[in-house]
């Protein structure tokens, strides 16, 4: 049982680090095709850099929590919670922007440089509402996670499963699109984003099973009385 828990913890750590590396590789590639994006739509059909930043931050937070070490350093938990808080704050800002129609242009100014020095379509680097909601739910799940608390574990599982609802709907839409001549529309998540969120979810859902490793119980000999015959 202890060996299975260690394997699950290692799997979660590997998933977190692998996603973090993939996201680091993707971010510099954005500059190559950013000038070709001339239209900003509510549900982006491409993988936006803010979505990748969300996934990278959550992946690093997941890897810090599931690091295969005997004694977890307090700094690991602090950094993990801090990354989750950052994702929640930015995701909440983007959702408020979509709800109110008021946007902060400086949030994605570094992702939209043009060859002429001008920015490409404003807000083109924004995550879709589906992506912001999914990231917020995953960040909330990791933020409240605590293996030794029953209600926190249940709340964590609810948030993690809720975070997978929108990627699942989008994934089913893409599968239906393969069988239909019409291309899927209005899914809110690009196919690469769906894959990233499913990989992140697979690591997050294994976290409670890999983090709680039962301690070995050492049997102590009972002290008996010396009986004299």
DSSP assignments along the chain, one per residue: -HHHHHHHHHHHHHHHHHHHHHHHHHHHHHHHHGGG-----SS-SS--HHHHHHHHHHHHHHHHHT---SS--HHHHHHHHHHHHHHHHHHHHHHHHHHHS---GGGGGGG-B-TTSSB-STTTTSPPHHHHHHHHHHHHHHHH--TT-HHHHHHHHHHHHHHTHHHHHHHHHHHHHHHSSSPP-S-SS-HHHHHHHHHHHHHHHTHHHHH-PPPPPPPPPPP-PPPP-
Q: Is 25 domain-assigned? A: yes
Q: Is 229 domain-assigned? A: no
Looking at the structure of the chain, the number of domains it has is 1
Write the pLDDT tens digit of every residue in 132-157.
999 999 999 999 988 776 778 889 99
pTM of this structure: 0.80
Q: Is 109 domain-assigned? A: yes
Q: Is 170 domain-assigned? A: yes
Q: Is 219 domain-assigned? A: no
Q: Is 119 domain-assigned? A: yes
Residue 19 has pLDDT above 50, yes or no: yes
Q: Is 41 domain-assigned? A: yes
Q: What is the pLDDT, as a whole number, of residue 120?
A: 52
Q: What is the pLDDT, as a whole number, of residue 186?
A: 62
Q: Is 59 domain-assigned? A: yes
121 vs 80, more confident = 80
Domain that residue 152 falls in: 2-211
């Amino acid at each position: 049982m202890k060996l299975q828990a260690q394997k699950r913890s290692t799997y979660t750590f590997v998933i977190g680090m692998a996603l973090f590396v993939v996201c680091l590789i993707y971010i510099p590639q954005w500059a190559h095709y950013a000038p070709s994006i001339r239209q900003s739509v509510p549900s982006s059909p491409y993988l936006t850099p803010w979505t990748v930043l969300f996934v990278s931050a959550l992946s690093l937070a997941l890897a810090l929590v599931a690091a295969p070490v005997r004694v977890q350093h307090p700094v690991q938990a602090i950094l993990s919670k801090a990354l989750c808080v950052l994702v929640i704050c930015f995701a909440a800002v983007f959702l408020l922007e979509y709800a109110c129609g008021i946007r902060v242009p400086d949030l994605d100014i570094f992702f939209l440089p043009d060859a002429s020095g001008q920015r490409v379509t404003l807000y083109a680097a924004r995550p879709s509402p589906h992506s912001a909601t999914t990231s917020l739910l995953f960040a909330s799940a990791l933020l409240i996670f605590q293996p030794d608390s029953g209600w926190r574990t249940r709340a964590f599982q609810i948030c993690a499963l809720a975070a997978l609802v929108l990627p699942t709907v989008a994934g089913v839409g893409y599968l239906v699109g393969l069988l239909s001549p019409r291309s899927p529309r209005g899914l809110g998540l690009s196919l690469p984003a769906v894959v990233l969120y499913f990989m992140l979810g697979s690591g997050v859902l294994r976290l409670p099973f890999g983090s709680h490793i039962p301690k070995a119980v050492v049997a102590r000999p009972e002290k008996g009385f010396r009986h004299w015959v």
